[in-house]
Amino acid sequence: MEHSKQPQYTSNEIKDTGDSSSVPNGHFDGLVKRPAGTVRTPVPQPPAAECVSHRPVNAVMESWREERTRSVEDNEMSLPSLAAAYTTILRGLGEDPQRQGLLKTPWRAATAMQFFTKGYQEKIIDVMNDAIFDEDHDEMVIVKDIDMFSMCEHHLVPIFGRVHIGYLPNKRVLGLSKLARIVEIYSRRLQVQERLTKQIAVAITEALQPTGVGVVIEATHMCMVMRGVQKMNSKTVTSTMLGVFREDPKTRDEFLTLIRS
C-alpha cells in the first residue's frame, strides 16, 4: 500500500477548486488521489461525518449532487478479477475450489459483494428529484423500522438492523419510500454505523431544508457476534439530530417516544 501519499493531505487541505468533476464527497483523509482524467473506475468517497459542518454550504450541496458512481459496465469489468480474488481466498482458507459446491462460488460471491455495495452505483439526486412536494405541513413525519443491511468496512462482514427517521417539514415533504431509498443507497456500502447515520440525516437536510431531522439506527454487527468478542445479543444504537431536533428537547422526546411505541 502506498502510504507515502498520506502526509500530503491534511484535514485542513481541500483539494477542491470548485471544479465539480473533482469535488470530493467531504472526506478529507484520503482525498481523490487520482485526478478525474486518469481514473479507470470512479472512486467514490463517503463523506466524513465531522467535516460537513466546516465546509461552505454550496460545497456541501455540490458534493451531494456530484457523488461519483460506479456503473454497471464497471461491475462487469471487475467481475473476473473479483472472482479470481475469491478463488485465492478459498484456496488460502484450505478449501478445494474445484469441489462441486464451490465451483461457481467465486462468481456468486463476487456478484453478491457487488450487490452489497450497490450504494456506490446510485446517486441521491436520481432517487429524490421527482418526489419532493410542496405541502403546508409542519408536524413531525416519522418513518420507522426500515430494515437496513450494510457491510462493516473494517471486517467486510454484514451489519443489519433498523433505521428510524423523523423530520419536521418546512413547506416541503418527501415521498415516504424515498426515505427508505436514501437508507438503501447509503447502507449498501462499506460503512461505519456512525457515518451512515450522519449521511442519511445530511442527505435529507440538503434535499428538503426541513426544520429538523432525526435519524436513529439500531443494528447488530456480525463482526461482534460471529467473531472477536462474540456477544450474541449486543446492539449498537447511533443517532443524529439536526436542527430543531437537536435544539429542542421536547421535539426530540416526541420523536424518541414515537419510534419506541
Partner 1 sequence: MEYHHDSEMKEVVAKYLNICIESKQNGLCKEEKDSKDSAGINKLPRIENAYTTILSELGEDVDREGLLRTPLRAAKAMQFLTKGYKEAPKDILNDAIFDENHEEMVIVKDIDLFSLCEHHLVPFFGKAHIAYLPNKKVVGLSKLARIVEIYSRRLQVQERLTKQIASAISEALEPAGVAVVIEATHMCMVMRGVQKMNASTVTSVMLGKFQDDPKARKEFLDLAIRK
User: Which residues of the shown chain bind partner 1 in the complex (CB under 8 A)?
Assistant: 1-3, 5-6, 27, 29-30, 33-35, 37-38, 40-45, 70, 74, 78, 81-82, 84-96, 101-102, 104-105, 108-109, 112-117, 120, 147, 149, 153-158, 160, 190, 192, 222-223, 225-227, 232
Q: Which of 87, 251 has the CB closer to partner 1? A: 87
CB of 92: closest distance to partner 1 in angstroms?
Answer: 4
Q: Which of 1, 57 has the CB closer to partner 1? A: 1
CB of 185: closest distance to partner 1 in angstroms?
Answer: 14
Q: Verify whether residue 51 is a known catalytic residue.
A: no
What does DSSP say about strands 190-191 and 212-221: parallel, antiparallel, or unpaired? unpaired
Using alpha carbons only, how large is the chain's radius of gyration in Å? Answer: 20
Sign for the pseudo-dihedral over CA of 48, 53, 55, 61: positive
Q: Which of 112, 176 has the CB closer to partner 1? A: 112
- The DSSP symbol for 117 reads T
Q: Verify whether residue 209 is a known catalytic residue.
A: no
Cβ neighbours around 22 below 10 Å, total: 17
Q: Verify whether residue 155 is a known catalytic residue.
A: yes
Q: Is 131 exposed, middle or buried (0-12, 13-18, 19+ CB in 10 A)?
A: middle
Q: Is 212 exposed, middle or buried (0-12, 13-18, 19+ CB in 10 A)?
A: buried
Query: CA 100, CA 83: separation in Å to the nearest integer?
Result: 16
CB of 78: closest distance to partner 1 in angstroms?
Answer: 4
Q: Verify whether residue 154 is a known catalytic residue.
A: yes
Q: Verify whether residue 54 is a known catalytic residue.
A: no
Q: Which of 5, 65 has the CB closer to partner 1? A: 5
Question: Which residues are tagged catalytic?
Answer: 152-155, 193, 221, 223
